[in-house]
């Protein structure tokens, strides 16, 4: 697919449920399917045109049952429905079809605005987002060397789960990086999502151990962590959230990680409660062990996106 980028317009792949006019995009009220549109403005972002760009998506209307995603794709990976592959931000970060990081952004509703800063610096694609003028931190950092994504020009993409919805897009002057740094004013009201804790909190070691990422899913009431093996705890839905079952995969861990994995497995298997305290996830285990986890806001990297293909 080749785009003519001399004018500025929405490409909807002739989706009958989408209507683009100037910088406005409308989703029909009877839409119950995933609809995607790509915003073609100028030459796009590429290694040949790598100056930073900044777009703002204003949500004029969004049904309570609908979700809106704002991100980036190129002509080879843009498609209708679930064929879209890109770097997307909604409530979570996604690659177009798979979850990459949960609870990155507050729920997007009518009246909200989402800012997206794009740049290619020394071969790395960097993407930052803001929500109603408040920075959310760096979302993606991808080394574009030898991969097919970004080989062509990249453009903003909007995806809707259903209608009705209406958005407008504008390209504004590019704010400095510090504008996008995540600030404490974005308070978390749930312990759902990704959290991190140093491995040294579990095992006494003279050398730094890797961070452990812990995810809490309040839909299925599971807590997961991974070193080499994935460790899953099933929690009581009512407080106190006691672990009533746990299991893990059976891969053989390298010797330098074996102690860490065993300690994490033991701690998670003995959870007595989890709670949100002063924007930290507090995990209480048996033997009065308290684990203090911090909100995980590391950007998504290339190895986390399964559909990326290498050119060589």
Domains of the chain (ranges; CATH) run: 9-182 (2.60.120.920), 193-295 (2.40.128.270)
> What local confidence, expressed as pLDDT, does residue 4 receive?
42
Here the contacts of 121-126 (C-beta below 8 Å, separation 24 or greater) are 121/50, 123/47, 125/45, 125/87, 125/150, 125/154, 126/299
> What local confidence, expressed as pLDDT, does residue 230 receive?
84
- pLDDT less than 70: residues of the chain: 1-7, 65, 182-189, 310-312
CB atoms within 10 A of CB 95: 22
The residues with which 215 forms a beta bridge, in sequence order, are 194, 224
pLDDT in tens, 182-222: 654 455 667 888 888 888 888 888 877 777 889 898 889 99
Distance CA 68, CA 89 (A): 8
Radius of gyration in angstroms for the set of CA atoms belonging to the chain, rounded to a whole number: 21
> What local confidence, expressed as pLDDT, does residue 7 receive?
61
> What local confidence, expressed as pLDDT, does residue 154 receive?
95
Residue 200: CA count within 13 A, CB half-sphere: 5
> What local confidence, expressed as pLDDT, does residue 183 receive?
58
For tokens 């909604």, what's the residue? 90
> What local confidence, expressed as pLDDT, does residue 218 receive?
87
> What local confidence, expressed as pLDDT, does residue 89 receive?
95
> What local confidence, expressed as pLDDT, does residue 185 receive?
47
> What local confidence, expressed as pLDDT, does residue 72 receive?
96
- 164 within 8 A of 147, measured Cβ to Cβ: no
Distance CA 127, CA 47 (A): 15
């Amino acid at each position: 697919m080749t785009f003519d980028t001399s004018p500025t317009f929405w490409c909807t792949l002739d989706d009958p449920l989408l209507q683009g006019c100037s910088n406005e995009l409308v989703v029909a009220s009877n839409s119950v399917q995933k609809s995607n549109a790509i915003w073609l403005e100028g030459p796009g972002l590429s290694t040949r045109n790598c100056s930073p760009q900044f777009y703002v998506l204003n949500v004029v209307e969004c049904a309570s049952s609908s979700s809106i995603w704002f991100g980036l794709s190129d002509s080879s990976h843009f498609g209708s429905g679930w064929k879209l592959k890109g770097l997307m931000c909604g409530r979570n970060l996604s690659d177009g079809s798979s979850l990459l990081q949960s609870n990155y952004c507050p729920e997007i509703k009518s009246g909200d605005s989402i800012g997206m800063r794009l740049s290619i610096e020394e071969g790395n694609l960097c993407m930052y987002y803001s929500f109603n003028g408040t920075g959310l931190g760096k979302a993606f950092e991808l080394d574009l060397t030898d991969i097919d994504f970004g080989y062509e020009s990249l453009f903003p993409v909007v995806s809707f789960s259903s209608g009705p919805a209406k958005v407008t897009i504008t390209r504004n002057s590019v704010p400095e990086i510090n504008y996008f740094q995540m600030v404490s004013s974005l308070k978390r009201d749930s312990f759902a999502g990704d959290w991190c804790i140093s491995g040294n909190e579990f095992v006494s070691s003279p050398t730094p151990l890797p961070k452990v990422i812990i995810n809490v899913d309040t839909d299925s009431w599971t807590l997961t962590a991974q070193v080499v093996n994935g460790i899953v705890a099933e929690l009581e839905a009512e407080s106190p959230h006691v672990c009533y079952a746990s299991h893990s995969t059976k891969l053989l861990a390298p010797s330098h990680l074996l102690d860490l994995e065993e300690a994490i497995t033991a701690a998670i298997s003995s959870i007595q409660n989890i709670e949100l305290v002063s924007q930290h996830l507090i995990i209480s285990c048996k033997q009065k062990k308290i684990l203090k986890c911090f909100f995980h806001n590391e950007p998504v990297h290339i190895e986390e996106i399964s559909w990326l293909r290498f050119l060589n």
